[in-house]
Chain A
Amino acid sequence: MSDPRDNVQQEFLAEAQELVEALSRDLLLLDEAHHRNERIDPALINEIFRSVHTLKGIAGMFGYRHVGAVAHALEDLLDDLRLGRTAVGQELLDVLFDSVERFQRLLELEDPQSPEEEPGVQAYIAVVRSIGLEPEEEEGDPLDRYAIEPAVLSVLTEYEEHRLRACIREGLQLYRLRATFDLAAIDDSIETLRDVASDDAEIITYLPSMEGGNEDTIELVVLLASRVPEPELKAYFEGRYGTIEAIEERTHLPTLPPRLTSIPSAAVSMRPQPEEDLMSQASLRSVANSVRVDIRKLDHLMNVVAELALVRSAVGRIVDRFKGESMHRQSVMDLDRIGRGFERQLSELRTGILDVRMVPLGQVFNKLARIVRQAAREHDKDVRLVITGANTEVDKLIVEELTDPLMHLIRNAIDHGIERADERTRVAKPAEGTLALNAYHKGSNVVIEVEDDGGGMNAHMLRETAVARGLLSADASHELTRQEMLNLVFLPGLTTSSEITNMSGRGVGMDVVKTNILRMGGMISIASEQGIGTKITVTLPITLAIIRALIVKIASRTFALPITVVREAIPCVPEEVHTIEGREVITLRGETLSICDLARLFGFRSTSEQGGRFVVVGAMGNRELGFVVDELIGQQDVIIKSLGKSLSSVHGFAGATDLGDQKVALVLDAPALFTEYFDGPDALRALETRA
């Protein structure tokens, strides 16, 4: 399993994945700027170019031929874009977005060289090569209008020349800054200047002036383009860097042919290579600050921590054993103190490891942003995505599991929720629909909301559909509250037909979304107003790994129940248990509460059927269910571990946990038990009795 080649491969895939994600993010920014007719930041295009360029490089090294070929074609296209040989347009954006999906698919291939992919890749490359808008040409070279020294013009790289023209076309004023720098620190100084300038001005180029400077200093002429008025710029740069002057537009055409003058070769060598160098500096810096870790290594560390906790409890037991004895009193007290210190450090270690597993939800949101764009285009709708709380952190595992359900919710919101622009205008809504993704922490949970300002759901239509499909009796349906009608959307049979969902206003598979969320120990709820919009709220635990649990005994076996679902525990009085329609219920503070005897559910021969038992009242969303157990042991933090592949299909258990001394307790999967009890074969009867 630790084949070094495998590791290297994994490293490659992880890095490639990051590059593709960065690419996707930047493309979304580009798309947004394009749609708003904003000025497109050249740094953004450079960023995109670099991602693709790096991807091409590493793909080549690891034999991902197709990835390399696609990246190569894109690189050419992006280079044209960078140099202004082509312009940003819808077609070009589509092709670029397409590349993200394509890269991801190609990276998932078993065989990165697979000949089957060849035709598809070639076809795509042909499209990439065919694309390209002619940039709008102006009459005459704008550069000719300015009195820029031929010595400067002649050393501009193609990119710099393009940026200079672009800046002039955008109406930026050109400035010449003469600044003196310390020779020893010149690289840093220029970097600082770039940083300082970046907000207000673009540095086109710089080169040593022929005059100023001495042995230790050098005077540079920096060519700047900026929108900031001259006095402000002057106030900022002068004194700090040197003199700045505007380069005036000429009133007549130049008489000198600009490019023939030769320049001293020393001047050329003084110029640092602006592109490549900065790139490698930047990437080196980011490498130094972060490491990429295989999640399995963290799982291993977590296991080690659990082991240490066992050691700690063993020490504690020894202390307890000797506490009563006077002989080693001092030593026992010392040992006790050391043990406590050990425990504190251990809990820090555990928190630290959990912290490393946390990643911002922004990772998923970025993927979703692409889906939003795609779905909006497919359905010809204007949708604005508003994201809040992208840096809300959750466990890596949850982030991965969340992508699919959220994708589903978003597609639904766009397919069926948000109306077309003309329809929206008719009902006096803004033509552009808004889809909001909000994330925030709430206690030990993270809440994610998917909210649209579309047409909302028709609760009565949902009810009629459920009745029409035989999922609900007509009588029972009349007793449903509006909220319960909305909840019908989560029923498996209801949402599988596209014909019905078009009417009901929601897409296929809400039941699947719900199942996935419940599996992670989460909850999902829905709120919708017709004509106003729909909000779906997903609540999830922040981390899957450690939970606080109530330890209980059922037929002398130990189980753990996540405390998050436990509302209270009360003695179970056999005389108060009644049976309604084959289900056992008790009355709790005037309300009827269904109870579920876990010993019977699991097929144990219960040892203490006759009294002394407890009802643990669990709550999920707006449902309550009492679990009947034999004994309450207490609360404890437990680390949930997977039951492994062989037992993964056994329902009702979220995993197992080691309680110490090699004693294993199964962790009850409360969401699954709720679903089994309420939505099992008798789901609808339960629904009826509750209404």
Chain B
Amino acid sequence: MRPTAQKATLAPNADSDTGATAVLAVWAGNEAYGFPLSAVREILVPPPLTEVPRAARHFLGVISVRGQIITLIDLPKMLNLEVEQTAPYGRVLLIDNGEELIGVAVDRVIQVYRMEPDDIEYASAMSAELSEYVVGVGRVPSESSADAQDMLILIDPVSLLGDR
């Protein structure tokens, strides 16, 4: 019924034909996160934010994108990672979670990686307790040195739903 949501997930065997998935890597707080590129509708310079009183703390508020009202999420807060908020976020990703568009505030966009299934350690196969929003952890070549690898926290777009 919802082809976009289906394709957008990074769950195991989601893209079994080719194996590889395009992942958009972004920086937020002190971590790098990855979103399936197919779920990213747009990357915006942050529009004016309107806070929504009484909403859960990881909801920053709402923004208007061409007349459409969109909820903006703070990633580290959503994952319960305490971060000293220093600078204002630099970009907003519009993510299609299959039901509506959700805005995700990030510091900056890193780049798009093509990830093979071998590059991803799925949450289900890991011992560590991971948030319900996380599909797993992906390894990508480091930005700083050629030999090292960086870790991407891979987010499941479908999980960005409802008031959790």
Task: Among A310, A645, A652, A656, point to the contact of B62 (Cβ < 8 A).
Answer: A656
Given contacts A645-B99, A646-B161, A646-B163, contact A651 B54 (CB under 8 A): yes
Taking the closest CB of chain A, its distance from the CB of B162, in whole angstroms, is 6
Chain A residues with CB below 8 A from B51, complex form: 557
- Say yes or no: is A658 at the interface (Cβ < 8 Å to chain B): yes
**Are B69 and A655 in touch, CB under 8 angstroms?**
yes
**Are A647 and B63 in touch, CB under 8 angstroms?**
no
Chain A residues with CB below 8 A from B62, complex form: 643-644, 647, 656, 664, 666
**Are A6 and B1 in touch, CB under 8 angstroms?**
yes
**Are A666 and B67 in touch, CB under 8 angstroms?**
no
Instruction: Give bound CA distance, A652 to B64, whole Å.
Output: 20
Taking the closest CB of chain A, its distance from the CB of B61, in whole angstroms, is 8
Taking the closest CB of chain B, its distance from the CB of A661, in whole angstroms, is 8
- Which residues of chain A (628-668) have a CB below 8 Å from chain B? 641-653, 655-656, 658, 661-666
Taking the closest CB of chain B, its distance from the CB of A309, in whole angstroms, is 9
Task: Among A310, A645, A656, A665, point to the contact of B161 (Cβ < 8 A).
Answer: A645
Chain B residue at smallest Cβ distance from A309 = B67
Chain A residues with CB below 8 A from B68, complex form: 303, 641
Instruction: Give bound CA distance, A649 to B55, whole Å.
Output: 8
Chain A residues with CB below 8 A from B88, complex form: none
**Are A662 and B52 in touch, CB under 8 angstroms?**
no
**Are A666 and B55 in touch, CB under 8 angstroms?**
no
Binary A-proximity of B127-146 (CB < 8 A = 1, otherwise 0): 00000000000000000000
- Say yes or no: is A1 at the interface (Cβ < 8 Å to chain B): yes
Instruction: Give bound CA distance, A644 to B52, whole Å.
Output: 12
**Are B50 and A665 in touch, CB under 8 angstroms?**
yes
**Are B163 and A643 in touch, CB under 8 angstroms?**
no
Chain A residues with CB below 8 A from B4, complex form: 1
Total of A-B residue pairs, C-beta within 8 Å: 93
- Which residues of chain A (20-78) have a CB below 8 Å from chain B? none
- Say yes or no: is A603 at the interface (Cβ < 8 Å to chain B): yes
**Are B163 and A648 in touch, CB under 8 angstroms?**
yes
Binary B-proximity of A647-691 (CB < 8 A = 1, otherwise 0): 111111101101001111110000000000000000000000000
Instruction: Give bound CA distance, A636 to B32, whole Å.
Output: 43
Taking the closest CB of chain A, its distance from the CB of B163, in whole angstroms, is 5
**Are B69 and A641 in touch, CB under 8 angstroms?**
yes
Binary A-proximity of B33-57 (CB < 8 A = 1, otherwise 0): 0000000000000011011111100
**Are B69 and A646 in touch, CB under 8 angstroms?**
no
**Are B69 and A644 in touch, CB under 8 angstroms?**
yes
Taking the closest CB of chain A, its distance from the CB of B122, in whole angstroms, is 26
**Are B63 and A643 in touch, CB under 8 angstroms?**
no
- Say yes or no: is A277 at the interface (Cβ < 8 Å to chain B): no
Chain A residues with CB below 8 A from B52, complex form: 643, 647, 650, 653, 666
- Say yes or no: is B102 at the interface (Cβ < 8 Å to chain A): yes
Taking the closest CB of chain A, its distance from the CB of B106, in whole angstroms, is 17
Chain B residues with CB below 8 A from A644, complex form: 62, 69-71, 100, 102
Q: Which of A1, A642, A647 has the most CB of B within 10 A?
A: A647
**Are B50 and A647 in touch, CB under 8 angstroms?**
no
**Are B69 and A656 in touch, CB under 8 angstroms?**
yes
Task: Among B66, B99, B161, point to the contact of A307 (Cβ < 8 A).
Answer: B66
Chain B residues with CB below 8 A from A153, complex form: none
Chain B residue at smallest Cβ distance from A646 = B71
- Which residues of chain B (1-40) have a CB below 8 Å from chain A? 1-4
Taking the closest CB of chain B, its distance from the CB of A675, in whole angstroms, is 15
Chain A residue at smallest Cβ distance from B72 = A646
Task: Among A648, A651, A664, point to the contact of B69 (Cβ < 8 A).
Answer: A664
- Which residues of chain B (81-136) have a CB below 8 Å from chain A? 99-100, 102
Chain B residues with CB below 8 A from A604, complex form: 53
Instruction: Give bound CA distance, A90 to B4, whole Å.
Output: 51
Chain A residues with CB below 8 A from B66, complex form: 303, 307
Chain B residues with CB below 8 A from A650, complex form: 52-55, 163
Instruction: Give bound CA distance, A647 to B99, whole Å.
Output: 14
Chain A residue at smallest Cβ distance from B50 = A664
**Are B71 and A647 in touch, CB under 8 angstroms?**
yes
Chain B residue at smallest Cβ distance from A653 = B52
Instruction: Give bound CA distance, A650 to B102, whole Å.
Output: 16
**Are A557 and B71 in touch, CB under 8 angstroms?**
no
Instruction: Give bound CA distance, A643 to B63, whole Å.
Output: 10
Task: Among A1, A645, A655, point to the contact of B2 (Cβ < 8 A).
Answer: A1
Chain B residues with CB below 8 A from A491, complex form: none
- Say yes or no: is A421 at the interface (Cβ < 8 Å to chain B): no
Task: Among A307, A602, A647, point to the contact of B59 (Cβ < 8 A).
Answer: A647
- Say yes or no: is A125 at the interface (Cβ < 8 Å to chain B): no
Chain A residues with CB below 8 A from B161, complex form: 645-646
Q: Which of A6, A642, A644, A661 has the most CB of B within 10 A?
A: A644
Closest 6 CB pairs of A and B: A602-B53, A664-B50, A306-B67, A658-B64, A303-B67, A649-B163
Known: A603-B54, A646-B100. 16 other contacts (CB 8 A): A1-B4, A3-B3, A306-B67, A310-B67, A558-B50, A641-B67, A646-B71, A646-B162, A647-B62, A647-B163, A656-B69, A662-B63, A662-B64, A663-B48, A663-B50, A664-B64
Residues of B with Cβ closer than 8 Å to A? Answer: 1-4, 47-48, 50-55, 59, 62-64, 66-71, 73, 99-100, 102, 160-163
18 A-B pairs with CB atoms under 8 Å apart are A1-B3, A1-B4, A303-B66, A307-B67, A603-B53, A603-B54, A641-B67, A644-B69, A644-B70, A646-B163, A647-B55, A647-B71, A652-B54, A655-B69, A656-B64, A663-B50, A663-B64, A666-B50
